[in-house]
Structure formats: C-alpha cells, structure tokens
Amino acid sequence: MEPTTFEIYAPVRNTINKALGVVVKVAGENITVQPLAGERMTFKSQYLAPATEAETAALRDLVTRLKLEEENRERAKTVKTDPALIREEFEKFVKHIAVRYPKSAEAFREFWAELMAAAGDAPGQTWEMRPNTAKNPGPVLKIFNKATQKWVYCLSLLAGWGLRLEMKKEFLPAGSEALFPIDHAMFGAGRAVELVYRDFTPEKRKPYADCVREIYVRYGLSANAAPSAPPALDNPPV
C-alpha cells in the first residue's frame, strides 16, 4: 500500500487522537504538523489523513497565519540583499518612531546621516535592517570579516524615544570604552550606551561618529562610496 502524500499547508487529522493540524514540512514519510495549539510534531504519514470539509474550515485561519509567516520570512531574506528594500524598511522604521516621538525621529535622522558619512552608505554591505523582530528592531552597521568572508554586525542602533547603541567589543577602538559604559551587552560580546535625544547635541554625537569612522578606516572601507567588492583587510578582527 502506497503511503499517503501531503502538500505543505494541507489540513490534516491525526487518525489516532483526531487532533487537527496543518502540514508544514514533508520529508518522505515523515510529516511535520502545526496543530491548532502547541508545538509542532512529526508523524509517519500513515497516522495522518486529509481533513474533512468542516475540519478544513476550522484550520483556515491557521493556514493563513502560516502562509503569512512564510511570506514575511522570505521578504526578510530579500530585504537583507536588496538596497532599495533596505532603504524602504529603514524609512518605515523612522516613520514608526516619528508617529510617537517626532523630535526623536528628526534627531535620529541627523545622527544616522553622520554615521553614513563615517561608514559609507552602502545598504546590504556597510549597513542593513535587522530582520523583523519586535524585540530588537533597527538598523545595524556592518564590517567585512576577512576570516569568514562575510559582512558581520558591528554597531546596532535600537531607537525609539531614546537611543541605545550596542558595539561589538572586537571592533571597539582602544580607549573608546568610555563611549559605551554598559559592559556585557550583546550577550557579553559588546558594550552599550543609552542616550537621550534632548541631550545628544552635535558636540556629543561627534565622538560616536568619529569612533565609527576610525573603525571603518582601520578595516579599509571607504566612507565616500559603496565598495564594489569585499575589501582586503590588513588587520582582521581576532
């Protein structure tokens, strides 16, 4: 007897306990199902059956949610590499701040322009938007790591009413620790600072822009043009 085959997002019923769910992964006879409530589970296909019309109706909202989640994941992958979409996501991010804190949004744009002058405005390379997450949204500056041949996070900006900057310790220039007084940020890999926009004057912003400029000069990145290829690094991060 041939095993029953299922498509992704197919509404199914467990033939043993009658529990309903939606297929999210197929690997031969192993079928992973998202139930209406609880964690995903994997079954042999012989223990699943297509849902009835009434059962399918009960699973319709779950199917819609799963498809939307997948679309968002795919969009996040595209956004990470498409400069136009990265800029679009950045604009959405700043406008979201402006709805509640107009002055903060203006100050953030000014500081961001200063960072771009220091690091180089190359979306997808020198910076990108952190993948969609309610916990840590915002743009991140990136550095090319010669050891891994990848662009990696260097400085994260978590902006809202105030601004939190998180810098990876491996990139922080010697003597700059005072700019980021909060130790053990980024799960111990970085240092951070929390700033209030009304006190973040051009004079106080300058040391942070200078710090970023020093990092990008050290790693051979131009602040005036987007690099067309990963730069060769004389002093890769340890």
pTM of the model: 0.63
Whether 170 is in a domain gets the answer yes
For residue 223, name the pLDDT band (cuts at 50, 70, 90): low
CA–CA distance from 57 to each of 20, 22, 26, 53 (Å)? 11, 12, 22, 6
Q: Are residues 100 and 172 in the same domain?
A: yes
CA angle 66, 136, 73 (to 5 degrees): 25
Q: How is the chain split among helix, strand and coil, in percent rounded to 5? A: 40, 25, 35
**What's the token pair of residue 3?**
């095993």
Residues 71 and 92 in one domain: no
The answer on pLDDT for 33 being more than 80 is yes
Question: Within this chain, do residues 41 and 143 fall inside the same structural domain, yes or no?
Answer: no
Give the C-alpha separation, 140 to 126, whole Å: 9
Quick one: 97 and 73 in the same domain?
Answer: no
Residue recorded with tokens 């009658």: 18
pLDDT at residue 187 is higher than 60? yes
Written as six digits, the tokens of 108 are: 């953030």
Number of folded domains that form the chain: 2
Who has greater pLDDT, 235 or 202? 202
Quick check: is 193 in a domain?
A: yes
Q: What percent of the chain has pLDDT over 90?
A: 58
* Pair (91, 206) in one structural domain: yes
| Least confident range of 39-48, 103-112, 140-149 | 140-149
| Predicted local confidence at residue 230, as pLDDT | 44
Residues 105 and 46 in one domain: no
Residues 89, 200 within the same domain: yes
pLDDT at 203 over 70: yes
**Own/partner long-range contacts of 37-44 (Cβ < 8 Å, ≥24 apart):** 43/14, 44/3
Q: Which domain holds residue 188?
A: 83-218
Name the more confident of 116 and 219: 116
Per-residue confidence (pLDDT) for residue 76, from 0 to 100: 64
Q: Is the pLDDT of residue 168 over 90?
A: yes
Verify that 90 and 70 share a domain, yes or no. Answer: no
Question: Which pLDDT belongs to residue 218?
Answer: 87
Is the pLDDT confidence value at 204 over 90?
yes
Give the pLDDT confidence score for residue 219 in this predicted structure. 82
Return the SS3 of 235.
Answer: coil
Whether 3 maps to a domain, the answer reads no
232 belongs to a structural domain: no
Q: Does 230 reside within a domain?
A: no
- Residue 237 domain flag: no
> Phi and psi for 161 in degrees, rounded to 5?
-65, -40
Average pLDDT of the chain is 85
Residue 124 lies in a domain: yes
Looking at the fold, whether 67 and 163 belong to one and the same domain comes out as: no
Q: Is 13 left (phi over 0), alpha (psi -120 to 50) or beta?
A: beta
C-alpha torsion 74→77→80→83, nearest 10 = -50
